[in-house]
Structure 1
């Protein structure tokens, strides 16, 4: 039995130009979404060092507030609070300061993180002490919560 081929049948011709263009368009759309999301993820990872720089001062403020029964007087360099760091406080941290219990960490400007992306922690007395980052510049850029 002989199999006849249709004269217009495509056999082994590959992809059409439209199919290739659609594939490229789909990859372009995926890249347009994925690349900015990945870059933002990397910035958040780098900003984690800025957040971590607040830990020592935060713990000291909690002890100070329990001792003084208030945030007033819980300043950098007094009442057990570490002295303010204003010159190159770390790889990604430009400064760490504490005033009346409020801890402010200013990041170094690099890798897309700006000095205006400050991390500010404000204590609210209680047991335990509650911390808020509502006054932080990093909230607008979603680098911190």
Structure 2
């Protein structure tokens, strides 16, 4: 009597099917993860402005006007591979715009908005200081691509 050794064809096909299903589920999740990692660079690009705005609210007797906090970078050249520009608006609201890079998928060219708040959650005034920052998507930015610290 010859005993069979190895796997049957149907067993191998089941294993291949299971691996295929797992890959079909994991690949989109991995692609979203890589875009989210690139978007963390966009959030990090606003950290210089967050410091400047926080210092202005803490120490200044009057708050600078939009675009005059000294941390903006709106020149025609990109700030980094994934960051197009960093601007400040009224009340120190920071807008960081992602570069138009195909690897950013739907987040390409969209922006993240960082808003300074007091510890009570209101807009700060000169001399009161910034208690926290609210980070959220700008117009058209899919929230799934934002780092977890920047989701509402």
What interval of TM-score do these two structures reach, taking the shorter chain for normalisation? 0.7 to 0.9
The question of whether the paired residues in 1 share the 8 Å contact of 2:58 and 2:130 is answered with no
RMSD value over aligned CA atoms? Answer: 2.4
The question of whether the paired residues in 1 share the 8 Å contact of 2:57 and 2:130 is answered with no
* 1:74-106, Cα deviation, whole Å (9 max, x unpaired): 53224xx32442421222111110012000000
1:114 Cα deviation from its structure 2 partner? 1.4
Q: Which runs of 5+ in 1 are unaligned?
A: none
- Could you tell me which residue of structure 2 aligns to residue 85 of structure 1? 74
The question of whether the paired residues in 2 share the 8 Å contact of 1:122 and 1:133 is answered with yes
In structure 2, the CA distance between the partners of 1:139 and 1:59, relative to structure 1 (3 Å rule), is farther
- Could you tell me which residue of structure 2 aligns to residue 132 of structure 1? 134
The question of whether the paired residues in 1 share the 8 Å contact of 2:116 and 2:130 is answered with no
In 2, the alpha carbon distance for the partners of 1:128 and 1:77 equals 18
| TM-score computed with the length of structure 1 as normaliser | 0.77
- Could you tell me which residue of structure 2 aligns to residue 43 of structure 1? 35
* Structure 1 residue runs of 4 or more that deviate by more than 4 Å after TM superposition: none
* 1:24-66, Cα deviation, whole Å (9 max, x unpaired): 1100111012211221221122112111110111100001112
Give the 5 Å matches for 1:31-110. Answer: 31-68=23-60, 73-78=64-69, 81-87=70-76, 88-100=78-90, 101-110=92-101
User: Which of 1 and 2 has higher RCO (CA within 8 Å, sep 6+)?
Assistant: 2
In structure 2, the CA distance between the partners of 1:62 and 1:74, relative to structure 1 (3 Å rule), is farther
The question of whether the paired residues in 2 share the 8 Å contact of 1:86 and 1:96 is answered with no
| TM-score computed with the length of structure 2 as normaliser | 0.74
1:141 Cα deviation from its structure 2 partner? 2.6
Structure number with greater Rg is 1
